[in-house]
Amino acid sequence: MRKTSTRKGKPENLAAGVRVSPVEHPRYSWRLSYTTGESESKRRHQRYFLSKAEALEVGREKAHELTQVGRLHSEITDAERRAVLDFREMVDKLPKSVARPSLADAVSCLKDSLRLRNKSQTVQLTVDDYLKGLQRKQVSPEYITTIAARLDRFIGDYGDWLACDVSTDIVADWLDDLELSATSINHFRAALIQLYNHALQRDVVEKNPVSSIPKRKSQGVEVGILTVEQARKLLKNASPEILPGIALGLFAGIRRAELNRLDWNEIDMEQGYVEIKARKSKTAARRLIPIRANLKAWLIPLAQESGSVMPTEMIWRNRLSDAMGKALIKDWPHNALRHSFASYHLAHFKDAGALALEMGHGSTKMIFEHYRALVPAVTAKRYWETTPDVSDS
């Protein structure tokens, strides 16, 4: 008969109650033990191995499996219950003419969204793939250089984003912030349309977010802004995740791309300014934007020491849509937050030079072309008096 093994070793406890321990056995030196099932149906399992390494490898796989099963079958949390109640409340508020979605519909929609995100890729990789495709088609080097230069500016702001997360609103705001002639903006628009057509062919995205953006006309684009009442209702109905971004857009005029890169440690409540660092600025120039009394009132309850001011694009988009619905805002003006800031600022403070500095413009030319005489002074005064105490007026 073979001698009983005398090899010893230190037992190891893995996740989900999985244990690997030495054992005296005629053939094996290590035992893997774990439990499955609930209460009366619990079963104890044991498996034997020649080496500790093999036992640990199988043990870690089993621990991961049991952990996942445990999560799936664990009790519903309070947060999950609140989410169900929020869903029911939201459905109850829908007009009677609208079909009632089920919770299963919402989960299915989320699954589709997650599936798209899993197969998507960053804007940077999408651009690289697109340019390589142009080279394979033997497109002229001059054309490729021109397209690459335009897309490179977009990469500077959204290169690390998933291509599927870039919405129509983001592209429209980005084009507007280029502050170029209508013809030049149309060239950038065309380059982005081709990029996203390529992404569609590769199943990186499900739709082209640029194709619905109209071409610019030579005489310029009419600037649309929120009314004071709309701004107040939007702030009142905004969730905590997006309220700082909305307030900073309305009362500091920060560009969307700059907001996405803004950290709480760059908002100095004591000194009273928001710092847009050069590396995060659209114009690669550092600037300080005053935090006026009404903006401070909105930010203080939500302020953090550090961390991103903005949530993910999916959360921003969904929460903004909810807030707009509750505020009864049906038509969202292009670049509404920044344009509102500029228009009400000029009408109230009457200082185009200061406004240009705060917005990051190189001169007052854009200010006078777009924002002059859009808002009466008395209305602008009410805008800058918008605080949490009067937001519902």
- Domain borders along the chain are 12-73, 123-201, 228-383
Q: What percent of the chain clears pLDDT 90, i.e. is strictly above it?
A: 57
Any idea which of 27-31, 106-110, 217-221 has the lowest mean pLDDT? 217-221
Stretch among 92-96, 143-147, 157-161, 244-248 having the lowest mean pLDDT: 92-96
| Residue 361: predicted pLDDT | 84
For residue 371, what pLDDT is reported? 66
**Residue 335 pLDDT > 60:** yes
224 pLDDT tier (thresholds 50, 70, 90): confident
- pTM confidence score: 0.61
Is residue 110 over pLDDT 80? Answer: no
The CATH number given to 228-383 is 1.10.443.10
Task: Measure Cα distances from 141 to 104, 137, 190, 197 in Å.
Answer: 51, 11, 18, 21
Residue 316 has pLDDT above 50, yes or no: yes
Tokens at 281, concatenated: 């600025």
CA 228 – CA 231 distance, rounded (Å): 5
Query: In this structure, how many other beta carbons lie within 10 angstroms of the beta carbon of residue 189?
Result: 21
Q: For 60-208, where are the E strands, in sequence order?
A: none
Look-up: residue for tokens 């053939």? Answer: 27
Q: Where are the alpha helices (DSSP H) in 202-255?
A: 228-237, 243-252
